[in-house]
Amino acid sequence: MSLCQRKHRERAYAAGTASDGNDGRYRSCHGGGDPVQPGDRSPGRCLSSLSQGRAPVHGAADPATGRPVEPETLFNVFSVTKAVTATALHIQDERGLVDYDEPVAIYWPDFAANGKQGATVRHVLTHRAGVPQMPVDVTAEMMCDWAAMASAIAALPRCRLWPRPARRRIISR
Protein backbone atom coordinates (compact mmCIF):
# COMPACT_ATOMS: atom_id res chain seq x y z
CA MET A 1 0.00 0.00 0.00
CA SER A 2 1.35 3.45 -0.81
CA LEU A 3 -0.18 6.72 0.18
CA CYS A 4 1.69 9.90 -0.54
CA GLN A 5 1.09 13.57 -0.13
CA ARG A 6 -0.99 13.72 3.01
CA LYS A 7 -2.63 17.04 2.12
CA HIS A 8 -4.33 15.27 -0.78
CA ARG A 9 -5.08 11.94 0.88
CA GLU A 10 -8.35 12.90 2.53
CA ARG A 11 -9.49 14.47 -0.74
CA ALA A 12 -8.47 11.32 -2.60
CA TYR A 13 -10.60 9.14 -0.32
CA ALA A 14 -13.54 11.52 -0.58
CA ALA A 15 -13.25 11.63 -4.37
CA GLY A 16 -12.79 7.87 -4.63
CA THR A 17 -9.31 8.11 -6.17
CA ALA A 18 -7.77 6.05 -3.36
CA SER A 19 -9.27 2.68 -2.61
CA ASP A 20 -9.25 0.66 0.56
CA GLY A 21 -9.93 -2.83 -0.73
CA ASN A 22 -9.83 -4.52 2.66
CA ASP A 23 -12.87 -3.12 4.45
CA GLY A 24 -11.17 -0.10 5.98
CA ARG A 25 -8.06 -1.82 7.31
CA TYR A 26 -5.86 1.13 6.37
CA ARG A 27 -8.02 3.53 8.34
CA SER A 28 -8.47 1.14 11.26
CA CYS A 29 -4.73 0.55 11.66
CA HIS A 30 -4.24 4.31 11.91
CA GLY A 31 -7.31 5.01 14.03
CA GLY A 32 -8.96 6.82 11.15
CA GLY A 33 -6.55 9.70 11.58
CA ASP A 34 -3.49 11.02 9.85
CA PRO A 35 -0.53 8.65 10.40
CA VAL A 36 1.87 11.56 9.93
CA GLN A 37 2.93 13.37 13.09
CA PRO A 38 1.47 16.86 13.68
CA GLY A 39 3.92 19.56 12.67
CA ASP A 40 5.77 17.25 10.28
CA ARG A 41 6.63 19.11 7.07
CA SER A 42 7.10 16.02 4.91
CA PRO A 43 4.87 16.03 1.83
CA GLY A 44 3.57 12.54 2.63
CA ARG A 45 4.38 8.99 3.51
CA CYS A 46 4.82 5.71 1.72
CA LEU A 47 3.82 2.46 3.31
CA SER A 48 3.94 -0.91 1.64
CA SER A 49 2.20 -4.01 2.90
CA LEU A 50 1.09 -7.27 1.34
CA SER A 51 -1.84 -9.39 2.46
CA GLN A 52 -2.04 -12.84 0.87
CA GLY A 53 0.28 -11.65 -1.90
CA ARG A 54 -1.77 -8.57 -2.72
CA ALA A 55 -1.48 -4.91 -1.79
CA PRO A 56 -4.75 -4.29 0.09
CA VAL A 57 -4.70 -0.51 -0.33
CA HIS A 58 -3.68 1.60 -3.28
CA GLY A 59 -3.06 5.32 -3.27
CA ALA A 60 -2.50 7.98 -5.85
CA ALA A 61 1.12 8.50 -6.88
CA ASP A 62 0.09 11.98 -8.00
CA PRO A 63 -3.12 13.16 -6.34
CA ALA A 64 -3.33 16.17 -8.67
CA THR A 65 -3.70 13.94 -11.74
CA GLY A 66 -5.02 10.79 -10.08
CA ARG A 67 -2.12 8.73 -11.50
CA PRO A 68 -2.22 5.48 -9.48
CA VAL A 69 0.65 3.88 -7.63
CA GLU A 70 2.13 1.05 -9.70
CA PRO A 71 4.96 -1.42 -9.06
CA GLU A 72 7.35 0.89 -10.97
CA THR A 73 6.41 4.03 -8.99
CA LEU A 74 9.50 5.57 -7.38
CA PHE A 75 9.48 6.90 -3.83
CA ASN A 76 12.13 8.64 -1.76
CA VAL A 77 12.88 6.24 1.08
CA PHE A 78 15.12 8.48 3.21
CA SER A 79 16.26 6.57 6.31
CA VAL A 80 15.47 3.09 4.98
CA THR A 81 18.98 3.18 3.54
CA LYS A 82 20.43 3.35 7.06
CA ALA A 83 19.42 -0.25 7.77
CA VAL A 84 20.85 -1.42 4.46
CA THR A 85 24.10 0.47 5.04
CA ALA A 86 24.47 -0.83 8.60
CA THR A 87 23.83 -4.41 7.45
CA ALA A 88 26.42 -4.11 4.68
CA LEU A 89 29.00 -2.70 7.09
CA HIS A 90 28.35 -5.41 9.68
CA ILE A 91 28.90 -8.05 6.99
CA GLN A 92 32.17 -6.32 6.03
CA ASP A 93 33.15 -6.33 9.72
CA GLU A 94 32.44 -10.07 10.02
CA ARG A 95 34.72 -10.62 7.03
CA GLY A 96 37.48 -8.52 8.60
CA LEU A 97 37.29 -5.92 5.84
CA VAL A 98 36.37 -2.91 7.98
CA ASP A 99 37.20 -1.80 11.52
CA TYR A 100 34.59 0.36 13.24
CA ASP A 101 37.25 2.28 15.15
CA GLU A 102 39.37 3.23 12.14
CA PRO A 103 38.92 6.65 10.55
CA VAL A 104 36.58 6.70 7.56
CA ALA A 105 39.52 8.23 5.65
CA ILE A 106 41.34 4.87 5.79
CA TYR A 107 38.67 3.55 3.42
CA TRP A 108 37.70 6.83 1.71
CA PRO A 109 40.68 9.23 1.77
CA ASP A 110 38.74 12.20 0.38
CA PHE A 111 36.39 12.09 3.38
CA ALA A 112 39.18 13.55 5.56
CA ALA A 113 38.78 16.97 3.91
CA ASN A 114 37.57 19.95 5.92
CA GLY A 115 38.21 18.63 9.42
CA LYS A 116 36.64 15.18 9.14
CA GLN A 117 39.90 13.21 9.39
CA GLY A 118 39.14 11.99 12.93
CA ALA A 119 35.66 10.65 12.20
CA THR A 120 35.60 6.87 12.53
CA VAL A 121 33.31 4.32 10.92
CA ARG A 122 31.66 3.94 14.34
CA HIS A 123 31.05 7.70 14.48
CA VAL A 124 29.28 7.54 11.12
CA LEU A 125 27.16 4.54 12.13
CA THR A 126 26.12 6.24 15.38
CA HIS A 127 25.51 9.67 13.81
CA ARG A 128 28.47 11.27 15.59
CA ALA A 129 30.72 12.09 12.63
CA GLY A 130 29.82 15.79 12.60
CA VAL A 131 28.21 15.63 9.15
CA PRO A 132 24.50 16.21 9.79
CA GLN A 133 23.14 16.72 6.30
CA MET A 134 23.52 16.45 2.56
CA PRO A 135 25.03 19.35 0.64
CA VAL A 136 22.31 21.94 0.02
CA ASP A 137 22.81 22.15 -3.74
CA VAL A 138 22.31 18.44 -4.51
CA THR A 139 19.99 17.79 -7.43
CA ALA A 140 18.08 14.63 -8.33
CA GLU A 141 20.57 14.07 -11.15
CA MET A 142 23.50 14.32 -8.72
CA MET A 143 21.90 11.73 -6.44
CA CYS A 144 22.17 9.24 -9.30
CA ASP A 145 25.84 10.08 -9.95
CA TRP A 146 28.07 8.14 -7.54
CA ALA A 147 31.22 10.20 -8.23
CA ALA A 148 29.39 13.52 -7.88
CA MET A 149 27.81 12.49 -4.56
CA ALA A 150 31.07 11.09 -3.17
CA SER A 151 32.80 14.34 -4.06
CA ALA A 152 30.04 16.54 -2.62
CA ILE A 153 29.88 14.61 0.66
CA ALA A 154 33.66 14.47 1.02
CA ALA A 155 33.80 18.25 0.54
CA LEU A 156 31.34 18.92 3.37
CA PRO A 157 32.92 20.61 6.36
CA ARG A 158 32.63 19.00 9.77
CA CYS A 159 29.80 20.58 11.73
CA ARG A 160 31.30 23.50 13.68
CA LEU A 161 28.91 23.14 16.61
CA TRP A 162 31.20 20.64 18.32
CA PRO A 163 34.97 20.67 18.55
CA ARG A 164 35.45 17.08 17.38
CA PRO A 165 33.50 13.99 16.32
CA ALA A 166 31.83 11.75 18.90
CA ARG A 167 30.74 14.50 21.30
CA ARG A 168 27.06 14.45 20.35
CA ARG A 169 24.72 12.51 18.12
CA ILE A 170 22.77 14.23 15.36
CA ILE A 171 20.58 12.39 12.87
CA SER A 172 21.04 12.96 9.18
CA ARG A 173 17.69 12.66 7.44
Q: Among all residues, which ones are annotated catalytic?
A: 79
**What sign does the CA torsion over 135, 154, 75, 41 have?**
negative
For residue 68, which of 58, 78, 60 has the smallest C-alpha distance? 60
For residue 153, which of 171, 167, 172, 169 has the smallest C-alpha distance? 172
Phi, psi of 114 (to 5 degrees): 60, 40
Name the residue type at position 142: M
**What sign does the CA torsion over 16, 10, 72, 137 have?**
positive
Interatomic CA distance for residues 10 and 5, integer angstroms? 10
